[in-house]
Amino acid sequence: MAALAVVMALGVSTVPSAQADDLKDKKHQVERQLKGATKDLGESSAALTKAAARLAAAQDQLSVAKTRLATARGRVAVAQERDAEMQAELAAAEAELATAEAALAQGKIDRETQRQKVASTVADMYAEGDPELIAFSSLLDADSTEELTRRDGVRDVIVGQEGRAYDELKAAEVLLEVQERQVSDARDDVAAKREAAADHLALMQELETEQQAAKDSVVSLVVERRDARVDARAARAKDVAKLRKLKKEQDRIEEMLRKRALAALRRARAQARAHARSQTGGPTSGLLAHPVDGYVTSPFGYRIHPIYHYWGLHDGVDFGGGCGTPLRAAAPGRVVSSYFSGVYGNRLIIDHGALAGRGVATIYNHATSYNVGVGDQVSEGQVIGYEGSTGWSTGCHLHFTVMVNGQAVDPMNWF
């Protein structure tokens, strides 16, 4: 987490005008460094981190829920179309059944009528005696060939009339059997279509229940996204307020360290050795020892803040190492400040006096605790505290800042 980035967020530049022309080159350099570094552990408060994660999760879940709802609606629409087709097929089958049943009923009437006709014909014929005997007797009584022929024709008519009556009855019974099969088939067809319609109705109800559940999920997630956005905005507002407070705090620290640096340089100039060192033109490597046994997780430099999206300075180097890793004094010096910051967590500031003709101080942030206090004199390599995750941090690390004449510089140039 960068303290001086707060200044940029508030619209106040802390970059000296002499460095303005180099800003773009430095930006590119820092971006290249960031490609090989892990994400900064201390970008925002835990509340904002949690709210942002919640909002992102709600966004992702809402996208999935919308897809699920669209799929459910599509399946319901297809099922509704199929239901309409099945209802039409069932109605047609029922109409065919009604027609077949009507034909069967009429067939039964026709068969009964034919039976009555046969019974009446036979009864009338046999009331006069056996038709075959009557016909034979009439042939015996014939007086001529012509009369014999005529009476033989009469016999055929009498006997044929009986046969036709029975044939018509047989035809009526055969037709009735056909109609009965048609009715049976039509009833089976209607039963099958009703069963299919019932099964489809159950599917329709299941799909509609699924669609309603998907719709309820979308509504719920829309509400959750809205609430998460509100919480994220509230957390961000609190973070911004803490950043403004930190800006004032940082200004106070810089002013204090500038004054202490000026006093140290005045004392140094009274000594010949310090005077010789003051001729050095730039940072001298090897003046500071590494403050912790850990790897760099985020370098010093200007960048776009990943949460608030302003261009600002990450005013130190973040070192990993693990919770409880000892923190060591980078050089001899005196503890001039120790307090808790809402952003930096537990902070400790050590004034090292004049080094290479400059007033140098180091700042330790996010520690779980320190075992030295204001006024204590420390030696190089002395354990002064332990790596932690206090303040704006999502994991144990050390945010280490080097202040030279009251301004933050890249610590890597001083090891």
Q: Which of 258, 61, 100 is nearest to 178 (CA)?
A: 100
Output 166 or 259, whichever has higher pLDDT.
259
Q: Going by CATH, does the domain composed of 5-45+246-414 fall within 2.70.70.10?
A: yes
Distance, CA of 107 to CA of 112 (rounded, Å):
8
Structure tokens at 54: 């919640």
Q: Which of 393, 315, 412 is nearest to 3 (CA)?
A: 315
pLDDT at site 390? 92
DSSP state of 38: P
Q: Which residues of 127-157 are buried (b: 16+ CB within 10 A; e: fewer)?
A: eeeebeeebeebeeeeeeeeeeeebeeebee
Among the listed ranges 65-74, 149-158, 366-375, which one has the minimum average pLDDT value? Answer: 149-158
Helix axes 145-269, 131-140, angle to 10 degrees: 150
Identical fold between 5-45+246-414 and 66-217:
no
pLDDT at site 414? 92
| Residue range 332-355, pLDDT digits in tens | 999 999 999 888 999 999 999 989
What is the pairing mode between strands 358-367 and 398-404?
Answer: antiparallel
Neighbour tally for 80: CB within 10 Å: 13
pLDDT at site 408? 92
pLDDT over threshold 50, residue 187: yes
* pTM (two decimals): 0.51
Domain boundaries, the chain: 5-45+246-414, 66-217
Output 280 or 271, whichever has higher pLDDT.
271
DSSP state of 283: -
Write down the mean pLDDT value for the chain: 75
Q: Predicted confidence band at 413 (pLDDT cuts at 50, 70, 90)?
A: very high
Distance, CA of 11 to CA of 353 (rounded, Å):
32
Percent of the chain with pLDDT over 70: 72
Which CATH architecture does the domain made up of 66-217 adopt?
Answer: Orthogonal Bundle (1.10)
Output 94 or 373, whichever has higher pLDDT.
373
Among the listed ranges 52-66, 160-174, 284-298, 391-405, which one has the minimum average pLDDT value? Answer: 160-174
